[in-house]
Structure 1
């Protein structure tokens, strides 16, 4: 009993801090919730790839139930218990993503209690729970289509949309609401927009390669009917276009003496792209082992995040509203 009491005493400060992070949110805690949304959305994208790479895509052959008569894994002759456990575990992670999404929305709404209310943050935060619901429903489409590569591809791209929405929330919660002001030459910022579009095209071509390759998620799953060598070459061509545009962006930022944060952001993006390229070439020459494919999926998400970061670093909306003073927060806290 004493041990339990000590454990409760140790956990109480963390629990209080967690509660206050969304119910008595500040600009700092709002940003932390947005960062958490980025992490969990990238994370569930990678675990979703792991489901496919382990052949567990139909481990739960029905939706929303796992089997025809059970919401949790039950013994069936057509699927191994380990595959069912992997698929069901990924489904459970959806609730973690939903919890973080709800935290984002609550933090954005409660931010207004001290006069810091920002409707733009509420709208952006609302995209998180909405996106989780859409993704969950689309997951049902993926299962009922027997892992059709089109539905699987859309599932991944929706995740990238969720990541983009979460990163936008993260960026906007760290700045003000003044009109957007360029920090770099107009043409350089335009290049950043074209680079973002090129990276999204790269993601689209990447899912075509995945839908043509060997890791279907289940023996019953269909594949795209493209020639794998042709789509890999196309993917490689787009990769080199993206890398070239990134180098051009980095060079332009350097020669125009643009803000250091933008230059460092472009350098980080180039580094992530080159590392991702190394993983891609290695997995190709090693006949696409599952582990490296999963690492490549993580790399794709990180390239996307790094690209979005560069775009936001090339403009400013002024400083974010000042956090309320302790005197202003205390009366609200006392009502807990």
Structure 2
């Protein structure tokens, strides 16, 4: 038999919102009384939503809805919400407007990360700084989105929109990784040169993403028939992109071999193996879309794959070092009495 439930945790007699009986509500309100585990949970949620909006942004482009809302910050010159417009179909307008609304979800998760970092006890300056990068970066993205619209989907501004998202995802992933560590000195889990190889691999993946953005800015899916394109040869750019893929895959094989020879710990080896699997799947998608004349659905899937490759590469780098783990406790926990 169990005794009566203890009194709910309180601050100055006020019941905490994180004592709500429904687990989903408790999870959503966990930023108010965070633990190291819930801090990581919010950081992981930020990785997911930032990756998600990068993919839905590509969905706006491949559906030809890039100028569905022809003005910014209003959807039309006279309205913040979609209304009939002579130059734009309502379907395209709703697609673009829906993607704009997702920004508020991403911002809400970013604010939750900031509150979690500020209320975590003991407060950790490294987490606070990484958490603040999210709302700042999201607002920067929103302003850049206005520039994308005002430049009529110029391929440079569209490409930078995606690359800013990759920077935000990196910041979110580092918050996730650091939330599971302490603030002590970095300890390598493998040889120094292997860790350097991991950094070279991450840099190569980023260059690959830049090349992919250039191919997209040269290809057929501009987001709107009025949008401009890079004045480059699409065949040449596609071959260059494929060459970079071979380099990235080769570096991944080299890293896996080095980790095996160096008898490195399991997490690093699993992270490298996962990256290779994602790269190979992405390669299959890329070649398939090339030979099928770049259908919109496969372009969207390819953008998702690019985002997953980036996250997997970030995971590889953070698996090559560690710090003293951070104890998991809540700011309102009271020591047990006997």
Query: Normalized against structure 2, the TM-score is what?
Result: 0.91
Residue pairs, 1:46-61, within 5 angstroms: 46-61=55-70
Q: Distance in 1 between matches of 2:175 and 2:270?
A: 21
- Which residue of 1 is the match for residue 215 of structure 2? 209
Change over 3 Å in CA distance of 1:20–1:89 after alignment to 2: closer
How far apart are residue 328 of structure 1 and its match? 2.2
- Which residue of 2 is the match for residue 174 of structure 1? 180
- Which residue of 1 is the match for residue 303 of structure 2? 297
Match of 1:120 among 110, 117, 126: 126
Q: Secondary structure at the match of 2:283?
A: helix
Which ranges of structure 1 fall in alignment gaps of 5 or more residues? 1-10, 331-336
How far apart are residue 20 of structure 1 and its match? 3.8
1:104 aligned to 2:110?
A: no
CA contact (8 A) 2:46 2:172 kept: yes
Q: Please give the root-mean-square deviation of Cα atoms over the aligned residues, in Å.
A: 1.5
- Which residue of 1 is the match for residue 243 of structure 2? 237
- Which residue of 2 is the match for residue 193 of structure 1? 199
Q: Distance in 2 between matches of 1:161 and 1:313?
A: 19
Q: Distance in 2 between matches of 1:18 and 1:70?
A: 36
Residue pairs, 1:149-164, within 5 angstroms: 149-164=155-170
Residue pairs, 1:302-317, within 5 angstroms: 302-317=308-323
How far apart are residue 12 of structure 1 and its match? 5.8
Residue pairs, 1:5-154, within 5 angstroms: 13-14=22-23, 16-18=25-27, 20-112=29-121, 116-154=122-160
Number of residues paired by the alignment? Answer: 317
Change over 3 Å in CA distance of 1:109–1:294 after alignment to 2: same
Q: Secondary structure at the match of 1:211?
A: helix
Q: Distance in 2 between matches of 1:209 and 1:325?
A: 49
How far apart are residue 50 of structure 1 and its match? 0.2
Q: Distance in 2 between matches of 1:139 and 1:12?
A: 40
Query: Normalized against structure 1, the TM-score is what?
Result: 0.92
Q: Distance in 1 between matches of 2:322 and 2:171?
A: 18
Further displaced range: 209-218 or 317-326: 317-326
Q: Deviations over 1:230-274 (max 9, x none)?
A: 000000000000000000000110111000110011000000000
Change over 3 Å in CA distance of 1:329–1:102 after alignment to 2: farther
CA contact (8 A) 2:119 2:331 kept: no
Q: Distance in 2 between matches of 1:329 and 1:72?
A: 52
Q: Distance in 2 between matches of 1:58 and 1:293?
A: 19
CA contact (8 A) 2:31 2:38 kept: yes
How far apart are residue 16 of structure 1 and its match? 4.2
Which ranges of structure 2 fall in alignment gaps of 5 or more residues? 1-19
Change over 3 Å in CA distance of 1:188–1:80 after alignment to 2: same
Change over 3 Å in CA distance of 1:326–1:93 after alignment to 2: closer
Q: Distance in 2 between matches of 1:128 and 1:36?
A: 12
How far apart are residue 117 of structure 1 and its match? 1.0
- Which residue of 1 is the match for residue 327 of structure 2? 321
